[in-house]
Amino acid sequence: MDENSLLIPVAMKIIMNSGNARTKANEALEALSIFDFSNAHKKIVEAREDIKKAHQEQTEIIQKEAAGEHYKTCLLFTHAQDTLMTIMSEVNLTEKMIILFESFYQIQGHKEN
């Protein structure tokens, strides 16, 4: 079996789970924009779950390669890793923004929605 036929389905799972995480992070930002901190926290937890799934897929390939399996370079897998890394950063920043905005909101004397 060609190495790419093994990497392509994994790459697609990484891309799909990462994309789902981005969608949920954007939903968290939308909730944040109307001061719905409860929903923002819920959506960022869901985003983290999707990132975890994507990261697990990537880790399995890396562990197999470290154990001696060799793969040809696969552009789609490289793209998947780049997508995962980028969206992990987006989720991290969104989470920090939620914490920051919630703190400012409370300092201003507002109660959480």
| Enzyme catalytic residues | 79
Residue 82 marked as a ligand binder: yes
CA angle 111, 48, 70 (to 5 degrees): 165
For 32, 64, 72, 94, 101, the CA distances from 36, given in Å and listed in that order, are: 6, 43, 47, 14, 11
User: Which tokens go with 106?
Assistant: 């409370």
Q: Which residues are annotated as a binding site for Mg(2+)?
A: 82
Residue positions in the annotated binding site? 82
